[in-house]
Structure 1
C-alpha cells in the first residue's frame, strides 16, 4: 500500500509538472508572438509623452516627463542630459541648458574610454542594458547647442560686461567645436581625402567586385566625416567677436565641406555652398586678402552675388541671420528577423518575419542585408518551393562551407534549431518637411536647407548595419547554447532549458536609443537691412498640413549682426508654455 501510495504521489507530481510546463510554454509562445508582432518597447516609446509635450510647446511639462522616463545616473544618463539640455534651451534657460550639456559632454568622454571587454559583454547580452554613448554627430551637436546657448545668454545680459562674457563663451565653445571636427577628420578623413581615395585604381577595382557581390551601399560614402553647418556657426561666432581671420577660416571650411560632399550626402540646398563662400569672401576683404578675395569671387560666386558684395562690405547696414531648427529627429526602431539553418547549402539564412514586417523594414533589409549576387539568388530560387516565394527575395544567406562542421561540433546549429529570433535596429525614412518662407517687411525669401541631422542618424545606422547583424546573430546563438547546456541535464532542467531558450529569444533587443530632440533639419537665411525697425515672420511647412508661424520685431543699428533662432514644431496647444519672443542677438560692437 505504501509503495502504491508513493507511486500515486509521484505520478500526480509528474502530471502537475507536465501541466505547469505546458502552461508556461504556451504562455511564453503567446507572449513571443506578441513581442515579434509588435516589437519590444523602444526608447522612443518610453519618452513618447515628453516628445508630444515638446511638440505642443509644453516645455515645463516635458521636462518633468523626461525626468520620470530617464535615469540621470543609469544607462540612459547621457540621453537624460541631452534631452533636458534641449528642453532648457527651448525654455530660454540657457545657463541651465549649458550645465546639462556640459555634463553630457563629460559623460560621453567617459564612455569613450570604456573598455572593449565591458562593451562586448553588454552587446552580447542586450545592448539596451548598457550605457548609451552617443553617435559622432550627436557629440558635435553638444558643442553646437552650447554655442547657441551662449548667444542666448548674451541677448539676456543686463550689462555690457555680462554681454561680452557670453560672447566670449560662444567663441570658446566654437574653438572646442573646431577641435572636435578636426578629430573627426583625422579619424575618418575629409571629403577631399575620400574623393582622392575613390579615384585610386585599386579602389575602383574593389568597387567593381563589391557590386558583383551585390553590395548596394558604399559605406565609405555614408561616413559622418565633417559638419559644414557647425563650421558655419563658428564663423558667425568669430565674426560677431570681430575675429575676421578666424571667421574667414571657418566660413571657408564650411564652404569646402558643403562643396566637397556635405550637400550631396545629406541632401541639402546647393545655395548653401554659395552662401558659405560669400561669407568667406567677405571676411577675406575685411582681413585685407584682396587678391585671394577677387579670385574666389570670380570662381565661386554667381554674377548676382558678386554684385551684392559691395553693399555687404559697407558698415551702413545691419545683418539679420535667421536660424531655423525644424521638426524632430526620427526614432530608431527595432526589426525582428528569423535565423534558420540550411543543411543542404551548409548555410545560415536570415529572413524578416512575414506576418510582422512592414514595407519600410523590408526595404531596409533588402538594401543592407538581402542576397543580391547571382549564386545566392539562384539558391533562393531553388529553395522557393520550401520557404515560399513571398519573401524569397528577402533572404540573407551566409554559406559556412568548411566552418559548417565546426558549427555543428560547437553546438551552434543545434542551438539555432528550427528558427531563432534576432533583432536589429533600423530607421524609417524621415517624412519630408515642406518649405520655410522668411518675410522681412514686404519682402519674402526662402530659407536654405543647411544641415540634416535626421539623415545623419539614418546613415550612421547604415554604417553600423554589418556590426549590428553580427552581434545579433552571436547573441542569439550564445543564448541558445546556454539554454541547451541547461537542458541536457534532463528531467525538470530539460523543461527549464526549453523555457530558457524561448525566454532568451523574447528578451533579445536591439539598440533603439538616439537623441530625439535634435531637429530633423536646419535652415538658414542671411539678409542685409537698413538701420531701423523691421518686422520678421517665418512661416514653416512641417509634415502634411502641420505649420508653424513665428514673428518678431527687430530694431537694428548700422553694423549690427542679429541672430534670430526659431524652433519650428506643430502649432502649440491652448495654454502651452511657449516663450513670448524668440531670443535675438546682436554683435558686441553695439
Structure 2
C-alpha cells in the first residue's frame, strides 16, 4: 500500500476512534443488571463473576456488586463476607497511589485498580449494617437476634469513624457555611461570577452523609442505647439542616423527622426534660409535637426503607484537542457529530470558556470559526511555556488535532412519589438520600482533574508516537509510523467509567408507631417515565418491637409484559 493510501485509510478510522469510548464498564455488566431487574439473581451473579475479576483491577467492584445481589437474595451473611473484602480492598487502595503509574498514563485509567468514590465507601458500611438488621429478623432465637443487632451496632461505630474522617478532610456543612460568611470569600465569589464560572465546587463536595448518621441512630435504638441513638439522630438532623438536604435535593420533612427522633431519644434516655421540650418547640410543627405522645413504650414501630431505582452509568465523552498559535494556547472542543446534548451540556457547564479570555478568543477567531462554535471551546493558555512545548515537540505531536476523553454523567431524572399504606392508612415516603446525585456531583468536583490527566495522558502518547517515527529515520515511512502511532494511541485512550451500578438511585424512608398485633403493609412506588411498582407484606409485632421492612424498587425492562414477571421486579426482604 502506498503512503498516501495508508494515510487515507487511517483517516477513515476517525469514526472508530470516536466510538471507542462505547465499551464502558456499564456496558460490560449491563446483562447482570438486567437479570437483577428480572429478579434472576443467580444469573446476575454468574454474569458478574464472568465479567469482573475478583483479584484484578475491578476487584473492589466485584465484591460490591455481588454483595448487593446477595443482599437482594436475602443471603445477608454472604453479602457481608463480600463487603468485608470490599472494605479491606478500599482501605488498601487508599494507601497505594497509582497516580504516577506509567501503565495508566500510557493507556487509560481503566488499566489501574478502581478505588471507589467516598460516598461508595460509606455505602459499604451502610449495606453491612442493613445485612445485620436482616440477619436479626431471620434469627431463630433471641440470642441470634441480639448477636445480629450487636453486629449492626459495631458497623454503626465504623460508619461514624468513616464519617468523622470525611468531615476532617472536607469540613462539615457548618464549617462550609462559616467559610461562606467570610468577607474575603464573598468577594472572591463575586469575581468568580464576573468570570462566568457556573459551578461552585465547594458546594458539591460530599462532606457528610445524614442518612448514614440516621441509620446508626436506628441501630443504637434497636440495641437500647438511647443516648447514643440521640447523638446519631442529632448529627443526622444537623447534617440535613446544614446543607445535605439542599445539596442532594431531599425532602425537607426528613430534617424534621431526624429532629423528631432526636427528641424521642432524649425523652427515652431521661435527663433531658427541659431541653427536649425547648427543642420540640423550636424544631417541630404543632402536629409533630402532638405526635410525640403516641410513641410510647407499649407501641411497636415500623420502619420502611425503600431503595429506589439504579445508580446512573458513568460514561465517556470524546473531545478534540488542537493548537491555537495566535493565542499561544491549546483548545479543546466536543466532536459535534459524535456527542449528544447531555455531553455538550456537561462540557459547557464544566469546561467551556465563560470569562474575559473567551471574549478575546472570540474576537481573534471569529472570522474563522464563528462565535457560536467558540461558546463550546475550552482554552488552555500556556503562555510562557509555549516555547518549551514547542521545543519538546508537543505542538507538532498534537498536529491538526488529537482526541482526548473525559468521564461524564447524563442528567439524572427524578423519580415519582412512593406511598406507604399501613392497614389502609396512607403516608408519603420521605426522600432521605440520593446516591445518583452524589455520583454526578462527585464527578463534577473531579472534572478539572479529569481534563488535566486526559491532556497529560494523550500528550505523552503523542510524543511517544512521534519519537518512534523519528527513530525510524523520518521521511514517508516516519510520517506513516507517526500517524499510525497517534491513531493507535487515540484508539486505546479511555476515560474512567467505572462506578458501583447496583446502588439505588435514591433512598426513601417512613416510620410509624402502631399497636401490637398484625398489620398489612403496602408500598406503591412511581419510578421514571411513570412506571409503577408495588410491594406488600404482613407483620406481627409485639410491644417495643422495631420492624424494618426493606424494599428494592427497580425499573422493569423495556417490553416486559407478563404480570408474573413484573411482580419479580420488586424484591422484598422481610
Separation in 2, partners of 1:581, 1:387:
55
- Preserved contact between residue 419 and residue 523 of structure 2 (Cα < 8 Å): yes
Residue 482 of structure 2: aligned partner: 497
Q: Label 1:443 to 1:299 Cα distance change in 2 as closer, same or farther (>3 A).
A: same
Return the alpha-carbon distance in structure 2 between the equivalents of residues 116 and 37 of structure 1. 27
1:307 aligns with 2:290: yes
Given the two structures, how large is their TM-score scaled by the length of structure 1? 0.93
Is structure 2 residue 165 aligned with structure 1 residue 183? Answer: yes
* Rounded Cα–Cα distance in structure 2 between residues aligned with 1:172 and 1:391: 56
CA distance in 2, matches of 1:483, 1:220: 39
Corresponding residue for 1:271? 253
406-415 vs 386-395, which deviates more?
386-395
Q: CA deviation at 1:54?
A: 1.0
Alignment deviations for residues 352-403 of structure 1 (CA, whole Å, 9 cap, x no partner)? 0011111111111111101111331342244133124542211111222222
Are the aligned partners of 2:533 and 2:570 in contact in 1 as well (CA < 8 Å)? no
Q: Distance in 2 between matches of 1:465 and 1:502?
A: 25
Q: Work out whether 1:153 is the aligned partner of 2:135.
A: yes
Q: In the TM superposition, what are the counterparts of 1:394-405 in structure 2 within 5 Å?
A: 394-405=376-387
Q: Which of 494, 512, 518 is the matching residue for 1:509?
A: 494
2:303 is matched with: 321
Instruction: Tell me the alpha carbon deviations over residues 477-534 of structure 1, each in whole angstroms, 9 at most, x when there is no partner.
Output: 1111111111123254442222001111121100000000000000000111111111
Question: Which whole-Å CA distance do the structure 1 matches of 2:247 and 2:405 have between them?
Answer: 28
Match of 1:542 among 527, 533, 541: 527
Answer with 195-204 or 207-216: which moved more.
Answer: 207-216
* TM-superposed deviation, 1:24: 5.2
Matched, 1:376 2:376: no
2:573 paired residue number: 583
TM superposition shift of 1:31: 3.4
Residue 353 (structure 1) aligned with residue 338 (structure 2) = no
Secondary structure class of the residue paired with 1:433 = coil
Rounded to whole Å, the distance in 1 between the matches of 2:221 and 2:532 is: 33
Structure 2: any 5+ residue segments left out of the alignment?
Answer: none
Gaps of 5+ in 1: 1-17, 585-590
- The within-5 A match list for 1:323-338 is 323-338=305-320
Q: 1:419-498 counterparts in 2 under 5 A?
A: 419-488=401-470, 489-490=473-474, 492-498=477-483
Assess if the C-alpha contact under 8 Å between 1:486 and 1:496 holds in 2.
yes
Cα displacement (A) at 1:23 = 5.8
Q: Contact 2:39–2:571 at 8 Å: present in 1 too?
A: no
Q: How big is the shift at 1:85?
A: 0.5
* Aligned counterpart for 1:212 among listed residues 174, 194, 211: 194
Please give the alpha-carbon distance, in whole angstroms, between the structure 2 residues aligned to 1:370 and 1:159. 62
Residue 293 (1) aligns with residue 276 (2): yes
For the residue of structure 2 that corresponds to 1:458, the secondary structure is helix
Q: TM-score, normalised by structure 2?
A: 0.95
Deviation at 1:547, TM superposition (A): 1.7
Q: 1:193 to 1:337 in 2, by over 3 A?
A: same
Contact 1:231 1:254 in 2 (8 A): yes
Partner SS state of residue 558, structure 1: coil
Aligned partners of 2:516, 2:444: CA distance in 1, in Å? 49
Which residues in structure 2 correspond to 1:29-44 (within 5 Å)?
A: 29-37=11-19, 39-44=21-26
Distance 2:102 2:206 in 1: 23
Distance in 2, matches of 1:421 and 1:482, equals: 15
Is residue 73 of structure 2 the alignment partner of residue 85 of structure 1?
no
Larger deviation, residues 571-580 vs 425-434: 571-580
Distance 2:10 2:500 in 1: 33
Q: Which residue does the alignment assign to 1:239?
A: 221
Question: 2:83 matched to 1:98?
Answer: no
Q: Distance in 2 between matches of 1:504 and 1:571?
A: 39
Q: Displacement of 1:22 after TM fit?
A: 5.4
Query: How many angstroms apart in 2 are the aligned matches of 1:555 and 1:119?
Result: 57
CA contact (8 A) 1:486 1:494 kept: no
Deviation of the 1:29 alpha carbon:
3.2
SS at match of 1:84: helix
* Counterpart position of 1:13: none
CA distance in 1, matches of 2:221, 2:177: 31
Using the alignment, how far apart are the partners of 2:432 and 2:147 within structure 1? 28
Mapped contact 2:555–2:569 kept (Cα < 8 A)? no
Q: Deviations over 1:259-298 (max 9, x none)?
A: 0000000000000000000000000111111121111111
SS of 1:85's equivalent? helix
**Structure 1 pair 75–116 and aligned structure 2 pair: CA distance change class (3 A):** closer
> SS at the partner of 1:423?
strand
Secondary structure, counterpart of 2:572 in structure 1 = coil
Aligned CA distance change for structure 1 residues 521 and 580 (closer, same or farther; 3 Å): closer
Asked if the contact 2:554–2:570 (Cα under 8 Å) also holds between the matched residues in 1, the reply is no
Residue correspondences, number: 565
Q: Who wins on radius of gyration, i.e. which is larger? A: 1
